[in-house]
Amino acid sequence: MSSTLFRTKNVEHSIRDTEEPEHALKKSLSALDLTVFGVGVIIGTGIFVLTGTAAKNTAGPAVSLSFVVAGVVCALAALCYAEFASTVPVAGSAYTFSYASLGELPAWIIGWDLVLELALGTAVVAVGWSGYIHSLLDNAGWHLPEALSGRDGASGFGFDILAAALVLLLTAILVVGMKLSARVTTVVVAIKVAVVLVVIIAGAFFIKSGNYDPFIPKAESVEAGGNLKAPLIQLMFGWAPSNFGVMGIFTAASVVFFAFIGFDVVATAAEETRNPQRDVPRGIIGSLIICTALYVAVSIVVTGMQKYSKLSVDAPLADAFKATGHPWFAGLISFGAAIGLTTVCMILLLGQSRVFFAMSRDGLLPRFFSHTHPKFRTPYRPTILLGVIIAIVAGFTSLSELAELVNIGTLFAFIVVAISVIILRRTRPDLERSFRTPWVPVLPILSVLASLWLMLNLPAETWLRFAIWMVIGFAVYFFYGRTHSRLARQEQQPADSPDVRA
């Protein structure tokens, strides 16, 4: 039985599957499109919120160094993703990579994880987007009925009509085609990057050098917690990280890291890229470099405009402009955040539909969902199914406490991809690799350790929820996926039988 659980799907087989007419995706994306996707999904509310939050609570003005540390951790993972995506240009990202190296059960686990994390992330972002739109509408004097404004604060029935409408609209755009999605994303990303640049340039004129003193505040110890809301590392070892000081920079890095989440979604579009061997690594690494530079610049500006100890937690950048007597910029920042979340939502929805599609094409989920649209060549069935489900979830649920599930799933994927790079280098040294991760196995091992460290800093209750979802995944695999996978059916056929394609 163990041999069936860890049977691998070789790279050549995965690539052949992408050439089947009924299951083939249209190749229409360029390196620029992928870079725009990466920037579009990374830059969300994090650039407007986490910068000030981490500065006030854990790092002070040195939060800019925390962004550099977090960027390096992501870069380690990005280099591993770039090698795999250029070697195995197939939809599914970490799921496909682990199927080719670790085996079917590990691939199922990571695919099951990614479907939840990306779907939940889409719902969380849609609810956040709705909040910004509600705020802008309130400022204009327009108010939606309480029953259609969401669950938060609702005394009776509550449905977030704006969040649900956004998800359904983006679902329709993704069904019509990737090129249209890329064009919409390009326009929206251009707007939100312009807003960020305006904020950086304008804020630079209000910087006071005294606000940077001290650049690294004196370290403060933190009392260890003992409940499920405490980081797992505290419950395991009784150790609590310190705030401020040199260690505070690394503590803040575990906080601001979550502002980078999403660059790995670029890898899910490898199959729809015209020249994936060249363009996917450029898209992944390029978007990460651009976003790291913007994050560092924003953090330097916000801590220079206002003393780190006086920054607000909810809207630090907007409030910093108010403190300098320029409240108009607060409205611009809210507009930029609302615009930015639109692309984040779209690209997360794109990523999880591609993972679902890849798992269906392999038979681990019903093959009904692996057929592409006859005209648009998009995986319209899983896109519509998941879009409707996510719209309902976003409309009826307050998801703020579940947002950290997105983070633990992403870090888990980072670890799997880094290990897979090492294994595939040993098992398939003959594969053509247009991009090679440097310093293997040292760099992938560092990526694993860095991601594991950040995972240990997540609350224990997040680990518990993650474990529950994984248990459900094991049940689905053993009752359906293990016997319905295409590899299983091929093993059951006589040697002279044709390959199973249904």
pLDDT at 432 over 50: yes
DSSP state of 145: -
Mean pLDDT of the 246-274 span: 83
Mean pLDDT of 372-385: 91
- The residue among 176, 27, 172 whose CA lies nearest residue 90 is 27
Answer yes or no: is pLDDT of 456 > 80: yes
The larger pLDDT score, comparing residue 118 to residue 227, is at: 118
Question: Do 353 and 479 meet the contact criterion of CB atoms below 8 Å apart?
Answer: no
Question: Cα angle at 233 between 228 and 239, to 5 degrees?
Answer: 110
Give the model's confidence band at 69: pLDDT under 50 very low, under 70 low, under 90 confident, else very high: very high
Tens of pLDDT, residue by residue over 320-357, are 888 888 878 877 887 887 888 888 888 889 888 999 99
Q: 300-309, 397-406, 419-428 — which is least confidently predicted? A: 397-406
Tokens 């340039």 appear where? 201
Q: Residue 502: its pLDDT value, please?
A: 44
Is the pLDDT reported for residue 136 higher than 50? yes
pLDDT tens sequence across 485-500:
998 888 777 554 554 4
What is the CA angle 67-71-72, rounded to 5? 120
Q: What mean pLDDT is predicted for residues 437-462? A: 90
Residue 217 has pLDDT above 60, yes or no: yes
Classify residue 292 as exposed, middle or buried by CB count within 10 Å of its CB (0-12, 13-18, 19+): buried
Among the listed residues 385, 381, 262, 374, the one whose alpha carbon sits nearest the alpha carbon of residue 26: 374
Q: Is 265 exposed, middle or buried (0-12, 13-18, 19+ CB in 10 A)?
A: buried
Examine the pLDDT at 455 and tell me if it is beyond 80. Answer: yes
| 501 pLDDT tier (thresholds 50, 70, 90) | very low
* Amino acid residing at 128: G
pLDDT tier for residue 226 given thresholds of 50, 70 and 90:
low
The pLDDT of residue 494 is 59
Please name the residues in contact with 236: beta carbons below 8 A apart, sequence gap of 6 or more. Answer: 456
From the CB of residue 310, how many other CB atoms can be counted at a distance below 10 Å? 13
Which range among 235-239, 346-350, 380-384 shows the weakest confidence by mean pLDDT?
235-239
Give domain limits for the chain. 2-216+224-492
pLDDT digits (tens, 9 = 90+) for 141-173: 787 887 776 655 555 667 889 999 999 999 999
Question: pLDDT band for position 418 (50/70/90)?
Answer: very high
* 448 or 179, higher pLDDT: 448
Which of 251-265, 272-286, 414-428, 456-470 has the lowest average pLDDT?
251-265
Q: What is the pLDDT of the chain when averaged over all its residues?
A: 85
Share of the chain above pLDDT 70, in %: 92
Cα dist. 241→99, 211, 220 in Å? 37, 25, 9
Average pLDDT of the segment spanning 374-392: 92
CATH topology of domain 2-216+224-492: Amino acid/polyamine transporter I (1.20.1740)
Q: Where are the strands (E) in 324-370, listed by range?
A: none
